[in-house]
Structure 1
Amino acid sequence: MRLKKMTAVILSGLMLLPLTACGSTSQTGSDAASSVEPEIVLDVAFENNSSEPIGAGWERAQEIIKEKSGGKMAIEVYPDSQLGDKSSLIDSMLLGEPVCTLADGAFYADYGIKDMGILFGPFLFDDWDQCWTLIESDWYEDQCKKLEEKGLKIIASNWMYGERHTLTNVPVNSVDDLKGLKIRVPSNEIQSYGFDVLGATSTGMALGDVYQALQTKTIDGAENPIATLYGRKLHEVAPYLILDGHVKNFTTWVVSADWFNSLTEEQQNWLVETAQEAGEYNNQVLQEAEQEYLQLMVDEGVTVVDPSEEVLEGFREKAASFYEMGDRFGWSDGLYDTVRKAMGAEE
């Protein structure tokens, strides 16, 4: 109940901001937009539950794009894998379909932009500021251009997905406790090896299948941000959580490059501005909600381990070998150092 109340307050307060700024003109535009039949409709689909901050972010985006376009563009939202998993959605984009989903560097690596895979490496970022510095860098811009040549256009990179933690059906108090455990990860090479180096046995699986797999003990655990772990109710069948924060997960939203380029410049601007503004909103909701999700998990019987710096150093030491696997991933020479420099990290 506390989470619902808190989220409602956040949503109500944030939704009032643009309306207050625009005054009566905004209301007139809204009335006009409601009578216009949209010329362009984008289907935004994802595996997450609509109750998660991502769902709130795209609800806000529906309002933003309607206001910006005067009702000429619209967004339809399909949570809970209603339109399929991430890979099938990306395949649809490559056919030019008007579909959008969230994806990350690990998936882009599988689609040919090998260097972007490093963005999902374990313990790459020291803090969130490094993420935001990186997405404004020349290196990142170059990677996005290469991705567009492959048929995929990133429209926003400023969405926090959250720090990824590990939920298991047996206690994990240090990296050594992961040895031999089957841990679900998204189905891509980077995240699989990223968890294997920690001593676990990674298992690629669609998010919608994880609850049953944990329930039947097909797997021993799963990793994801707190909002997703709670939103999918995975703690009901895996009651041990270690806050290892192995990936600071900023996520991107991607569409078909061919479809995007078929839009007018004005329509493109409406879409990109909407996605980025909705990202800022998502981040506010997420940051406010995470502690509430965590408390709810504790209240519902989850044992939470907040590891010491010494324990986390053990994770980092294990993770270091991942960055020696560049040849396996097809990375450019010196990629780790290049990316650390682009994010403003001091070595």
Structure 2
Amino acid sequence: MLRKYAILLGAIAAIAMPLASASAQTALKWAHVYETSEPFHTESVWAAEEIKKRTQGRYTVDVYPASQLGKEADINQGLTLGTVDIIISGSSFAAREYPPIGVTYFPYTFRDADHLLKYTKSDVYKALTKGYEEKSGHHITATTYYGTRQTTSNRPIAKCADMQGLKMRVPDVPAYLAMPRACGANTAPIAFAEVYLALQNGTVEAQENPLTTIEAKKFYEVQKHIVLTGHIVDHLNTIVSQSRWASLSDEDKQIFTEVMQEAAARATAKIVAREKELVQVFKDRGITVTDIDRADFEKNVLEKVTFEEFGYNKADWEAIRAIK
């Protein structure tokens, strides 16, 4: 009888061991709105593989690109609802929880990508990301250079006044609207997925995005001019939900942070390199590419737009501008 009991216990243990092993593996969802061809996706997939490798398979990460789990507002909300664990999203959305972090979208804050990267290592960056975490509960692990936002149009633009009355698609985010409205453009918040068609059928005659996005979305096919307004040096944050971050051990938090920062650096390098190539690529396609009087644009923005109307602190903006 005892022997049969021992055999039965052994059989139960043998069945339980793989079940215990399986339960030790945690599956995570990583969501974003970018195309599978873009570095934000390819480097997220790389990061997912690295997290699995560096945690000895304790964590597996499935990456959901191209708004598969919802638009950007949806996946930000998903962090709180528990429908996603990790997202890539702009500070404009983080600013809905903590307005001061959106100051990085105020036009002409950053000189270039290098300035943005120096900001991510600064005290003001630490203070703003901490403020976001205290307000939302979610943790920013890394920041990726998204690209410098330029303008495409079916009319030539050289100075701010040339945008007067221009029908222009701009994301429905206050800071994105600042430059176009300061220059007198009529802005329209058309959904990102519908921009190409809106440009094609004349619903709007201009839009703004980084050169890499202009390429990926083929906006150059339905626009005559690319105007290097460079009004926002844009970025994306990698964010881990409050519940997921709290569940990680200190060792795993370090692994996640290191991997996500490496992925951000890899994506940034690809975006910087591609941007340098694209001006000539667009010229070769017959698109007119022009510079602007940047001082004129900046002067109009500072005269006509206030930091307070967005909930930003001018002191934060000045601290960022002072970074060398």
What is the TM-score when the length of structure 1 is the normalising length?
A: 0.79
Relative distance call for 1:76 and 1:231 in structure 2 (3 A) is same
Relative distance call for 1:43 and 1:301 in structure 2 (3 A) is farther
1:58 and 2:44 are equivalent in the alignment? yes
Gaps of 5+ in 1: 1-34
Counterpart amino acid of residue 83 in structure 1: L
278, 281, 289: which one aligns with 1:293: 278
The equivalent residue for 1:275 is: 260
CA distance in 1, matches of 2:93, 2:180: 15
The equivalent residue for 2:310 is: 329
CA distance in 1, matches of 2:122, 2:90: 17
101, 104, 114: which one aligns with 1:116: 101
The equivalent residue for 2:299 is: 317
The equivalent residue for 1:235 is: 220
What's the offset of the Cα at 1:345? 4.2
The equivalent residue for 1:98 is: 84
1:205 and 2:172 are equivalent in the alignment? no
Give structure 1 regions of 4+ aligned residues with deviation exceeding 4 angstroms: 35-38
Q: Deviations over 1:52-94 (max 9, x none)?
A: 2223322322332232122222332222222221101111112
1:256 and 2:234 are equivalent in the alignment? no
126, 134, 139: which one aligns with 1:153: 139
Kept after mapping to 2: 8 A contact 1:41/1:73: yes
Kept after mapping to 2: 8 A contact 1:80/1:208: no
What's the offset of the Cα at 1:343? 5.1
Relative distance call for 1:290 and 1:37 in structure 2 (3 A) is farther
CA distance in 1, matches of 2:178, 2:296: 17
Give % identity. 29
Alignment length, in residue pairs?
Answer: 303
Counterpart amino acid of residue 313 in structure 1: A
CA distance in 1, matches of 2:24, 2:263: 20
Aligned ranges 1:214-233 → 2 under 5 Å = 214-233=199-218
CA distance in 1, matches of 2:90, 2:229: 20
What's the offset of the Cα at 1:156? 0.7
Relative distance call for 1:277 and 1:196 in structure 2 (3 A) is same
CA distance in 1, matches of 2:166, 2:68: 30
230, 247, 251: which one aligns with 1:245: 230
Gaps of 5+ in 2: 1-20
Relative distance call for 1:76 and 1:292 in structure 2 (3 A) is farther
| Larger Cα-atom Rg | 2
Kept after mapping to 2: 8 A contact 1:89/1:101: yes
Counterpart amino acid of residue 250 in structure 2: E
What's the offset of the Cα at 1:122? 0.5
For structure 1, which segment, 136-145 or 224-233, has the greater mean C-alpha deviation from structure 2 after superposition?
Answer: 136-145
